């Protein structure tokens, strides 16, 4: 029986939380009907807890409090609405406990109360009968135990767990969505598991609880279908980390995102490189949300996931597509096709995030479009892990976003899954791709030596044109591509629309029989991406 929580106990608790959430993940996903019935609360809580535990295991500065390490890992790895709230609760605990020499019952009760209050402030529009209610009630029960003279650590953690469980059972009658489905709040159920793991850590005895009961009275979600946009009224879930910002800019960001959508959660944490924020929101205008992030600082590890409405259950063989995108404009483009989108710079694509995106679709059959040669192996590893979870996952090895778009253009959920995968792969392979970029350093290429600032035209990954300006190189590159034939050219233009205008005019004048389709790549995109079919 522990009298206080030391570093070893924090690590033991963190491991127990991961194990508990892993065992309950599927059931928590089934309970997820609020705020959006997207069936991913269990996986989001688990991935967030795993990120915190991984940070603890990584070690680092031994002088730093394990509470701070755990919270930072959770915030930076938080997934979804529920994961962001869990991360905020852990961060609230860390704010109170990191500097405490002894974390006994009284200290922990006060920290739980602080954590619950800060979680409410992180959520833009908090509602009762939710994760927040369960966390606050657990903290209130712990505080009441101390006030009644039950100050031992075991008494406090048991009171918190019991208080949270009582509040959880009441959530069914507090929210219409829960009442209609006949379930408790999924996030709150997850927090009860977190507190039960703490009881086990402190007392050595795991609480005996009845199974999470009650099943939704109707299905909660349908996987993203191909083709077709997300169902009206839900839009997309946008989440990103924000660096190079400050409290004033983040306050403005919160105001702007609150105007654009709902389910807004913003959680900040100190890192060795400065303060970062995990931002989560549900919006219909993905581009506007990402642009608001750009105005506030440097958004990175951006993910965009379409949200589906309540429909009939997916029939066996129902499938979904997960596409990786490397700019806000491409994310918008793929999201508009009704697929799940994961957005991040190529070097920051995370295997766990790909796995989460696959599992969050809820589909039995999933196609993954990596859209870059450098992340194909990573997505294949994530697909292997998803297959261990019982999903039929295939990676179509698209090396460019234009190949991904070509694959989506022929996708047909009415076909057998294997036949559909073959059709998508063939369409991608038949699309020649090229891009115009700017050299960052001196190098020897297939077209000769380039220097920093040179415009480079690459076809299928090999540099074939080097020049002084982007427009000249783009025209030369397109002429080379179309000399081998082609009926349609897809242009994804980066941040300079004038380059797109120049290229489109050149195609109209020199290759008038070629159909031209133009998209905006937005911030972070290469100057010009080309596909020829």
Encode pLDDT of 129-181 as tens digits: 899 999 999 999 999 999 999 999 999 999 999 999 999 999 988 888 888 88
- From 6-10, 150-154, 242-246, 298-302, the region with the lowest mean pLDDT: 298-302
Instruction: Name the most confidently modeled range: 87-91, 212-216, 397-401, 404-408.
Output: 87-91
- Report the mean per-residue pLDDT for the chain: 86
Predicted confidence (pLDDT) at residue 63 exceeds the cutoff of 80: no
Position 342 scores a pLDDT of 87
Position 307 scores a pLDDT of 66
Relative to beta strand 365-369, strand 319-325 is parallel
Confidence class of residue 37 from pLDDT cuts 50, 70 and 90? low
All domains in the chain, ordered by first residue: 7-203 (1.25.40.340), 236-310+317-429 (3.40.50.510), 432-532 (3.30.1180.10)
Helices and strands per DSSP (H, E), number in the chain: 18, 16
Question: What is d(CA 106, CA 96) in angstroms, rounded to the nearest whole number?
Answer: 12
Predicted confidence (pLDDT) at residue 497 exceeds the cutoff of 50: yes
Position 34 scores a pLDDT of 74
Question: What is d(CA 219, CA 37) in angstroms, rounded to the nearest whole number?
Answer: 9
Upstream peptide bond of 17 is cis (omega within 30 degrees of 0): no
Position 60 scores a pLDDT of 61
Rounded percentage of the chain residues whose pLDDT exceeds 90: 49
Position 38 scores a pLDDT of 61
Position 61 scores a pLDDT of 61
Lookup result for tokens 């597509």: 321
Rounded to an integer, the average pLDDT of 219-223 is 34
Position 284 scores a pLDDT of 82
Predicted confidence (pLDDT) at residue 315 exceeds the cutoff of 60: no
pTM assigned to the model: 0.63
Query: In Å, what is the CA distance from 349 to each residue of 237, 377, 410?
Result: 18, 11, 26
Confidence class of residue 312 from pLDDT cuts 50, 70 and 90? very low
- CA-closest candidate to residue 260, choices 298, 306, 228, 291: 291
DSSP letters, 408-470, are: HHH--TTS-HHHHHHHHHHHHHT-EEEEEEE--S-EEETTEEE-TT-EEEEETTEEEEEESSH
The distance from CA 518 to its chain's CA centroid, rounded to whole angstroms, is 28
Question: What is d(CA 90, CA 84) in angstroms, rounded to the nearest whole number?
Answer: 10
Confirm if 71 and 53 have CB atoms less than 8 A apart: no
């Amino acid at each position: 029986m522990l009298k206080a929580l030391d570093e070893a106990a924090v690590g033991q608790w963190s491991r127990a939380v991961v194990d508990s959430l892993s065992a309950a993940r599927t059931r928590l996903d089934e309970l997820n009907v609020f705020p959006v019935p997207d069936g991913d609360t269990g996986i989001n809580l688990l991935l967030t807890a795993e990120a915190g535990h991984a940070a603890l295991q990584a070690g680092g500065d031994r002088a730093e409090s394990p509470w701070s390490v755990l919270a930072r890992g959770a915030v930076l790895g938080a997934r979804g609405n529920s994961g962001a709230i869990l991360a905020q609760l852990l961060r609230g605990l860390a704010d109170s406990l990191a500097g405490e020499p002894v974390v006994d019952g009284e200290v922990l009760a006060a920290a739980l109360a602080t954590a619950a209050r800060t979680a409410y402030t992180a959520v833009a529009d908090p509602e009762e009968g939710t994760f927040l209610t369960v966390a606050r009630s657990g903290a209130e029960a712990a505080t009441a135990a101390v006030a009644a003279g039950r100050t031992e650590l075991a008494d406090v953690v048991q009171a918190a767990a019991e208080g949270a469980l009582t509040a959880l059972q009441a959530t069914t009658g507090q929210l219409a969505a829960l009442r209609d489905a006949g379930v408790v709040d999924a996030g709150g159920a997850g927090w009860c598991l977190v507190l039960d793991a703490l009881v086990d850590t402190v007392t050595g005895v795991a609480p005996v609880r009845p199974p999470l009961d009650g099943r939704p009275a109707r299905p909660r979600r349908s996987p993203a279908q191909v083709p077709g946009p997300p169902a009206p009224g839900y839009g997309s879930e946008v989440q990103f980390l924000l660096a190079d910002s400050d409290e004033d800019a983040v306050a403005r960001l919160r105001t702007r995102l609150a105007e654009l959508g709902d389910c807004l959660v913003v959680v900040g944490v100190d890192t060795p490189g400065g303060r970062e924020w995990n931002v989560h929101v549900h919006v219909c205008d993905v581009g506007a949300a990402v642009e608001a992030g750009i105005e506030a600082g440097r958004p990175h590890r951006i993910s965009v996931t379409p949200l589906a409405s309540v429909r009939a259950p997916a029939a066996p063989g129902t499938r979904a597509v997960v596409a990786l995108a490397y700019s806000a404009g491409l994310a918008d483009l793929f999201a508009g096709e009704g697929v799940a989108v994961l957005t991040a710079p190529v070097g920051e694509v995370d295997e766990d995030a790909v796995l989460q995106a696959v599992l969050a679709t809820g589909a039995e059959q999933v196609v993954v479009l990596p859209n870059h040669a450098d992340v194909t192996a990573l997505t294949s590893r994530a697909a292997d892990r998803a297959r261990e979870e019982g999903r039929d996952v295939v990676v179509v090895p698209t090396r460019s976003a234009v190949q991904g778009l070509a694959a989506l253009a022929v996708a047909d959920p009415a076909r057998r899954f294997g036949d559909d995968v073959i059709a998508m792969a063939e369409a991608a392979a038949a699309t020649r791709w090229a891009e115009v970029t700017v050299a960052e350093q001196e190098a020897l290429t297939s077209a000769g030596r380039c220097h920093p600032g040179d415009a480079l035209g690459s076809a299928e990954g090999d540099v074939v044109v080097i020049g002084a300006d982007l427009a000249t190189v783009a025209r030369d590159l397109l002429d080379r591509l179309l000399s081998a034939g082609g009926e349609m050219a897809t242009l994804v233009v980066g941040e300079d629309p004038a380059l797109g205008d120049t290229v489109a005019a050149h195609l109209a004048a020199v290759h008038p029989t070629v159909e031209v389709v133009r998209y905006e790549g937005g911030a972070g995109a290469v100057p010009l991406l080309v596909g020829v079919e």
